[in-house]
A = this chain, B = another copy of it.
Amino acid sequence: MDTKTKELRFAVIGWGYWGPKIARNLESLPHASVTMIADLDERRLTGISLQQPWIKTTTELEDVFRSNVDAVVIATPVRTHYRLAKEALLHGKHVLVEKPLTASVEEAEDLVAISRQQNLILMVGHTFEYSPAVNELRKLIQSGDLGKIYSIETERVNLGLFRNDINVIWDLAPHDVSILLYLLGKTPEQVRVQAHAHLQPHIHDVAHLDLEFDDGMNAHIHVSWLHPCKIRRVTIIGDARMAVYDDTNPAEMLKIYNKGADVHADPGVSYRFGESIIPHIDWIEPLRLECEDFANSIRTGLLPRAHGGVGLQVVKVLAAVQEKLDMQEKDDATLVA
């Protein structure tokens, strides 16, 4: 039988913000359907029974694991990711977990190991790795068009959405860390962090992360739930060219600047100024491409782009940042005279 047309059945656990979005995209794939939706809160499931009565809904997660679905999407709070994904894998289901993959490095390592033993797909919802703009940017970097990369700055700020189970680093920075690792194909060696909890005690709502890579390259990540403007921007500083990816500007999502500075033996630094280019990007919804990759991986057995190992790398960076943050809490700042 042709694996390309094999009918795939999906279940979704968690019917909050991401669950319905992913379900809609899976539904729109050829030869794929969502046959079961689970949530602990029965009220969330009411609408489904009315509008799509052919989908089975349940508040018992065991129903999902024991069902005949091929794959499970886990769109629940982070602290539950590990337990649910493990259970699903052990029941022989392929698994797509919302980002971040887990709440700790150990948990992520365990999931990756189990998925290998079970020969099942483990994937994490790093949606931005599927963004056409990010992929265009990656080509620019990997081809050397930007030259040696000095530095990358990312900003992901807005008013809201505050959470009370995780801080802004675990909530928003997974996007930026996954973008960075995907663009660069490597992992930072060490991290620093400056973070503040303004609204809720002990839940940091503003953070600046500094990541250092082996060759002197550094990246800076600014995430915040407390900002007047919605900013989603990545700035790449190469020694040949520079680029800005602005996810909030559909007409000019990517801009490449032919400009830079050069150091000379004696008289110092000179500057180059040339044209800027805004490439045309054929836009496809990243979540759609992510769902396609999941379905395709299930059918072929090939690793998806955002496979469990990638999710583990991101969790390693987040965990190092959290460790640094826990340690410092005012110990190592320098007093002003």
Given known pairs A206-B151, A227-B235, A228-B235, the reply for A216 and B191 (CB within 8 Å) is: no
Partner of A280, one of B192, B229, B244, B275: B275
B263 to A274, Cβ gap below 8 A? no
Interface string of A180-202 (1 = CB under 8 A from B): 00000001111110101011100
Most buried by B among A259, A280, A337: A337
Mask: chain A, 307-335; 1 = CB below 8 Å from B; 0 = not: 00000000011011101100100101111
The answer to whether B259 touches A159 (Cβ under 8 A) is: yes
Which chain B residues border A324 with CB–CB below 8 Å?
333-334
Please encode chain A, from 249 to 270, with 1 for each CB lying within 8 Å of some chain B CB and 0 for all others: 0011001011111010000110
Q: A220-B208, A261-B225 are in contact. Are A189 and B316 (CB under 8 A)?
A: no
When C-beta atoms are compared, the residue in chain B nearest to A275 turns out to be B279
Query: Which B residues lie within 8 Å of A259 (CB)?
Result: 159, 228, 280
A321–B334 CA distance with the chains assembled, in angstroms: 7
On chain B, the residues within 8 Å of A230 by CB distance are: 251
B274 touches A280 (CB 8 A): yes
Q: Please give, as numbers and ranges, the residues of chain B lying within 8 Å of A226 by CB-CB distance.
A: 150-151, 237, 261
